Amino acid sequence: MNIPEIFGSLVFNDRVMKERLPEDTYNKLKKSIEDGDALTFEIASVVASAMKDWAIEKGATHYTHWFQPLTGVTAEKHDSFITPKGHDEIIMEFSGKELIKGEPDASSFPSGGIRATFEARGYTSWDPTSYAFIKDNTLCIPTAFYSYGGEALDKKTPLLRSVEEINKQAMRIVRLFGDTEAKNVRVTVGPEQEYFLIDKDLYEKRKDLMYTGRTILGAKPPKGQEMDDHYFGAIKPRVAAFMKELDEELWKLGVLAKTEHNEAAPAQHELAPIYSDVNLATDHNQITMEVMKKTAAKHNLVCLLHEKPFLGVNGSGKHNNWSISTDTGINLLEPGKLPQTNLRFLLILSAVIKAVDEYQDLLRITVASAGNDHRLGAAEAPPAIVSMFLGDQLLGILESIEKHAEYDEEAKMNMEVGVHVLPTFQKDTTDRNRTSPFAFTGNKFEFRMPGSSFSIAGPNTILNTIVAEELEQFANELEASEDDDFGRAVRRIIRRTYREHRRIIFNGNNYSEEWKEEAKKRGLSNYPSTPEAIPHFADEKNVALFTKHNIYTKREITSRCEIILENYCKTVNIEALTMIDMVRKEVLPAVTKYTAKLSEGALEKKRLIVGISCKTEIGLVKKLSRLTDELYEKVDFLEKALERVTAMEGDIAQKATAYREEIVEPMAKLRTVADEIESNVSENIWPYPTYCDLLFRI
């Protein structure tokens, strides 16, 4: 396999455009993309013709506007290239109009009240900053999706708005520091994707996995991840074959799949790409999740992207590595050899610190879901309390600036381990903190809170916007400053920012109970669940932020609040219904049958062997009978509670809170009883594949 040859072979990328477009059209298209100007119909028509010819040569028969509605997954409607010519002939056509605009039914996608059933019109619009690609013999054209009234109904449109805004404000800072060569500032992202692989035959025997993506029932196996033997361990042949094909398919689609390894939990793995522009990285991550599932099926496996598919072992996250760079290749979050003298870096770092502190609620909100609520707070997932990790060196530098003191420690030190044959290398300026929600990791920030099934568009839209807001404030102050010493004016901002926002910085163990108390004393927000977090999206300060920077309108904000809370309610409702179904139809019949069999066996032994006590059988029958009664009571309680909550009308936030308070907890109690029963019955009688089967049999 020639990797350079296959890489991007299914992508209408810059190289292909340069080859196939007239030079004048190519130059105009590139200029339009770089300068943010609207594309003309004439350019689109030429591009459409070249794109169609290329796609047909690659075997494509259809095209689709590939978009990202507020469902959390991508959407596509396929149209063939055929156009009738006369009565019994066709030609293959694709026009500039078809490239630029599509029209899906906007009322059939989540809109939070923006679109009613009788207001169905919506539009998809070609995003030329993200390359078209071929998937399943279909030309996929990345597009934005918005309503007839222009409201964003997708995740891409706000992301593109935020990209423009952070570029605008960051360029002001770049110019203030004397850089006249850079033309724009780009957000670069590398999302690490965690996932589980399980056997498809076992998956199909579990209603909970099929309906909800996670195991609602399941007793803890004798062995979990406590031996740390799976993390970075040798990859099993079946998994290695999956990973090999996954890499090949992603490379064809231009996805920069780079790193793959076993994660901490049994059956858990990770894929990490090379960094790319945030818009492209977002599209690529959506492609990655889809290709993962399709490739797994070819190997009789199922790829689970739920944040917590198994209780008692690590959940799956999507670590969002975020940085900003100029088009000339300068990473603005690179400290350099002596970060204490790198004022531009320290100013931008200060902007991030201020942004995370002032908008910590938004960072929590952007990762809120029913699935992620199960994950946050343990097993290498950060807690719901947002804080920042900077490391001792950067913290020391900021403290020295705040105190007007000198800081002369060098940024990097040689690694010494006492073995002379090992090569010497320079260690990083900071350690890593795997419990921190938002950690500086050398030349970027790792936002560890997003769940594995999330689109990274939401978190990056928030990050871009809140940092743009602080950069704007800093630029306004510096541009208006009458201080003839620019460095002194910059240090004044850094000093003030650190003094006012140091509460958000925490380099310790975010899992500890002491940190929860300390965070409370510092006044940091703590929203443990989605229903507690989401209503704050529409807080006055957040609405002011988004409307000021033209990221969301107030209507778009309230619609997203409603969509997320509705999704939460529906998710919990489906999980509860699934649990009731499993317990009533399979668990209760199985355990009562087993108990009856034990009772019959004990009576038969007593009949055949005079004087035998049958203590084992009788003791187990008593225990299982007690547990069965308890199981029946708890499933009955859950069913009645679900009927009551489902019937609630009115405010969606109140209904989501009712699901959290009245359904989630009874489900946990019901599971505890069911899992204890599973631990006390024969494997032959239990109706589902166990955790041992699911986690260890690949």
> What tens digit of pLDDT does each residue of 33-67 get?
877 777 788 999 999 999 999 999 999 999 999 99
Cα gap 651→662, rounded to integer Å: 16
Q: Which CATH number fits domain 162-214+228-552: 3.40.50.1820, 3.30.590.10, 3.40.50.880, 3.60.70.12?
A: 3.30.590.10
- What are the pLDDT digits (tens) for 97-139? 999 988 887 778 888 888 776 777 889 999 999 999 999 999 9
Give me the architecture of the 568-696 domain, per CATH. Answer: Up-down Bundle (1.20)
Cα gap 154→453, rounded to integer Å: 16
Strands 138-147 and 62-66: what pairing? parallel
pLDDT band at 423 (very low <50, low <70, confident <90, very high): low
Give the Å distances, CA to CA, from 627 to 370, 650, 672, 675: 29, 38, 10, 10
Residue with tokens 């510096």: 478
pLDDT band at 427 (very low <50, low <70, confident <90, very high): low
301 has pLDDT over 70: yes
Give the Å distances, CA to CA, from 271 to 193, 259, 298, 308: 5, 6, 18, 18
Tell me what pLDDT residue 53 has.
Answer: 95
Query: What is the pLDDT averaged over residues 350-361?
Result: 97
Give me 23's structure tokens.
């030079």
pLDDT band at 413 (very low <50, low <70, confident <90, very high): low
pLDDT band at 159 (very low <50, low <70, confident <90, very high): very high
510 has pLDDT over 80: yes
pLDDT band at 82 (very low <50, low <70, confident <90, very high): confident
576 has pLDDT over 60: yes
Judged by average pLDDT, the poorest of 180-184, 397-401, 577-581 is 397-401
Query: What is the pLDDT averaged over residues 308-333?
Result: 95
665 has pLDDT over 90: yes
Tell me what pLDDT residue 298 has.
Answer: 97
User: Which of helix, strand or coil describes residue 303?
Assistant: strand
Judged by average pLDDT, the poorest of 149-153, 401-405, 517-521, 563-567 is 401-405
Give the Å distances, CA to CA, from 258 to 213, 299, 452: 27, 21, 18
pLDDT band at 418 (very low <50, low <70, confident <90, very high): low
Instruction: Express as a percent the part of the chain with pLDDT over 70.
Output: 95
Cα gap 520→518, rounded to integer Å: 5
369 has pLDDT over 70: yes
- Could you count the other beta carbons within 10 Å of the beta carbon of residue 688? 21
Residue with tokens 């380099």: 507
Query: What is the pLDDT averaged over residues 376-389?
Result: 80
Of residues 280, 326, 219, the one with CA closest to residue 672: 219
* Residue 572 exposure: Cα atoms within 13 Å on the Cβ side: 34
Judged by average pLDDT, the poorest of 166-180, 383-397, 413-427, 563-577 is 413-427
395 has pLDDT over 50: yes
Domains 162-214+228-552 and 568-696 share a fold: no
pLDDT band at 428 (very low <50, low <70, confident <90, very high): low
Give the domain ranges of the chain: 3-154, 162-214+228-552, 568-696
Q: What is the 3-state secondary structure (H, E, C) of 635-691?
A: HHHHHHHHHHHHCCCCCHHHHHHHHHHHHHHHHHHHHHHHHHHHCCCCCCCCCCCCH
Quick one: how far is CA 450 from the chain centroid? Answer: 4
290 has pLDDT over 90: yes
Judged by average pLDDT, the poorest of 188-197, 423-432, 443-452, 552-561 is 423-432
Task: Determine phi and psi for 408, rounding to 5 degrees.
Answer: -120, 10
| 606: Cβ contacts below 8 Å, ≥ 6 apart | 612, 614
Tell me what pLDDT residue 417 has.
Answer: 54
Put simply, whether the predicted model's pTM sits higher than 0.85 gets the answer yes
Of residues 216, 205, 71, 212, the one with CA closest to residue 574: 212
- Could you count the other beta carbons within 10 Å of the beta carbon of residue 190? 22
Strand ranges inside 28-153, DSSP E:
62-66, 78-80, 82-85, 89-92, 101-102, 122-126, 132-135, 138-147
Give me the architecture of the 3-154 domain, per CATH. Answer: Roll (3.10)
445 has pLDDT over 60: yes
